[in-house]
Amino acid sequence: MFIRMESLYIDGSEVSPKVSFDPFSRTLELGGYSRPENAKTFYTPLVQWINDFNEWILNAAKSGGTIEPVVFNFKFIYFNSSSAKFIYDIVAILGAMNKNKIPINIFWYYDADDDELLESGEELSEMSNIPFNYVPVDNN
């Protein structure tokens, strides 16, 4: 089955994160605040897009294309518990992609003073068995 990939961009707000998924540059970014009223409604299309992206890359590889590394930048300021489940779903898909020999580079940005956000990234990395690159940001 042929999947046609398109970029996905959603402007961030005070309650929902900015989404910038570019399949052609292999760069995906999610960041800002994530406390949407209905996390399932917000995140389900994102999870589906990443699943489709995974299939798209695998199909390209089967057709003799090269597999370029995928970079995923998590740049959250805050996310609530209902968002955390879907963020984990995204990380789990990235972990599956990595197992399929698709090189994945995950960057977890966090405020240098926010130990909780750093710990959340460490837990996600451990649960998904995929290493994260931690990038402290000095917001002072």
What was the pLDDT predicted at 2?
60
Q: Look at residue 10 and tell me if it is in a domain.
A: no
Q: Look at residue 16 and tell me if it is in a domain.
A: no
Which residue range forms the structural domain that includes residue 55?
35-137
Domain count, the chain: 1
Q: Look at residue 97 and tell me if it is in a domain.
A: yes
For residue 22, pLDDT beyond 90: yes
Residue 116 tokens read as 């909780």
Encode pLDDT of 44-83 as tens digits: 999 999 999 999 998 888 887 778 899 999 999 999 999 9
Angle at CA 72, nearest 5°, toward 67 and 75? Answer: 170
Q: Look at residue 125 and tell me if it is in a domain.
A: yes
What's the burial of 87, exposed, middle or buried (CB within 10 Å: 0-12/13-18/19+)? buried
Helices assigned H by DSSP within 1-140: 39-62, 81-99, 115-128
Q: Look at residue 18 and tell me if it is in a domain.
A: no
**Banded pLDDT at 140 (limits 50, 70, 90):** low
What was the pLDDT predicted at 117?
96
The structure's pTM equals: 0.93
Distance of CA 8 to the CA centre of its chain: 12
Q: Look at residue 114 and tell me if it is in a domain.
A: yes
Q: Look at residue 74 and tell me if it is in a domain.
A: yes
What was the pLDDT predicted at 69?
94
